[in-house]
Amino acid sequence: MPQDAQILQAQALFQTTFGHAPSAQAYAPGRVNLMGEHTDYNGGVVFPMPLALGTAVALSFGGPAGMIQARSADFPETVKRPLGDTAKDCWTDYLIGTLQVFFEGHPPTEGLQITVATDLPVGSGLSSSAALEVALLRAMCQLTGRNLTPVEIAIMARKAENTYVGMPCGIMDQYSVSVGTPGSALFLDTRQLTSEPVALPDSHNFVIIHSGLSHRLSEGGYEKRVTECTAACAALEVEFLGDLSPADLHRITALPDPLNRRARHIITENDRVYRAIDALKSSDLGRFAALMTESHQSQSADYAVSLPEIDALVTGAIAAGADGARLTGGGFGGSIVAFVEKSRVASFTQKITQGFPNARVLAVT
């Protein structure tokens, strides 16, 4: 749905829920990651692209003091919670966590009324939570007149995930949806917090396919990978695995399994980001496509964040005419991204839909 239509939907929902128009409204996109999975919390580089799917938030001060009243177009009921509440595994945790970071211990005396409309499926690996946090922060800046840069917004949104929601994520999602523009891919250095746009080839599309398996159920797996990387860093005496290059791969043989495989994925995946961007800049699309598929194999065999159904979808995508394909996002379900020549996209999509009844093409970009 176009951004304007999404905002209109959040505004209309606000009017019907609260009986008056909202004072502020904003939108933020989701993202697909093209290369560099799990490298962001390892001080590495990533290559995400904001999408034309996203989330709109409409809001106003109002309602009972010290409370939020929040309604999503996806659920019938309005949730009412204290602004100072602790996380309780509800979609509104993302709102409360982000607002607590925004107010920095000085909450307003008024209440807040909020509505949300999105076309990003939750658990699809396309950053629905980052889109919600960033859209909320943009709307809060409008409402309060506070000025925050896109990078400051990304840092706040990540802080809400890390400290309130309890998701030890890196900054890729929040940075790419706050700083980037839909359809334009970003080479992002998560250590320096710098990025540059990278042109994508006109000959191909990226086709994003939801496996039908939501990744929400296995969030513990992500946390476990973060802990394993920290243990590998301690054993190798480095601050971040992203500090190592393929020339250091001999060092990981000293690590016990699976830490050796986890480290190998991060080191090779980080290097694949540089190589993928180099391949695109020199118009070597065959090399770029091969790197995508190599990235999937590394995520599956070494990092163990794929699932048999996702592996089958990647193999099926290549059989259906994609030049390369890989799991995108945090894994344990979610989506794959396939690199498909434009002339083959229609037949590709048809073959995937026929061969994988649970899978859904979410975007062609």
To ligand GLA, the closest distance from the beta carbon of 197 in angstroms equals 20
List Cα–Cα distances, 31 to 55, 177, 219, 317, in angstroms.
11, 6, 19, 20
| Helix (H), strand (E) at residue 324 | strand 324-328
Strands across the sheet containing 335-341: 324-328, 335-341, 204-210, 360-364
To ligand GLA, the closest distance from the beta carbon of 20 in angstroms equals 35
CB nearer to ligand GLA: pick between 324 and 330? 330
The residues binding ligand GLA (CB under 6 A) are 33, 37-38, 40-41, 169-170, 172-173, 329-330
Helix axes 308-319, 285-301, angle to 10 degrees: 160
All residues at 6 or more sequence positions from 227 whose CB lies less than 8 Å from its CB, including other chains: none
CB nearer to ligand GLA: pick between 142 and 162? 162
CB nearer to ligand GLA: pick between 38 and 204? 38
To ligand GLA, the closest distance from the beta carbon of 74 in angstroms equals 20
Q: Give just the sign of the alpha carbon dihedral 166, 172, 175, 176.
A: negative
To ligand GLA, the closest distance from the beta carbon of 224 in angstroms equals 13
Sequence letter at residue 106: H
CB nearer to ligand GLA: pick between 10 and 157? 157
Sequence letter at residue 217: L
From the list 40, 93, 119, 173, the catalytic residue is 173
List Cα–Cα distances, 12 to 7, 57, 187, in angstroms.
9, 11, 37
To ligand GLA, the closest distance from the beta carbon of 75 in angstroms equals 23
Q: Would residue 202 show up in a list of annotated catalytic residues for this protein? A: no
CB nearer to ligand GLA: pick between 132 and 169? 169
| Helix (H), strand (E) at residue 70 | strand 67-72
Q: How many CA atoms lie within 13 A of 20 on its CB side?
A: 9
CB nearer to ligand GLA: pick between 302 and 345? 302
To ligand GLA, the closest distance from the beta carbon of 123 in angstroms equals 11
Q: Are 325 and 339 in contact (CB under 8 A)?
A: yes
- How many whole angstroms separate alpha carbon 80 and alpha carbon 247? 54
- How many whole angstroms separate alpha carbon 281 and alpha carbon 199? 8
Active centre residues (catalytic): 173
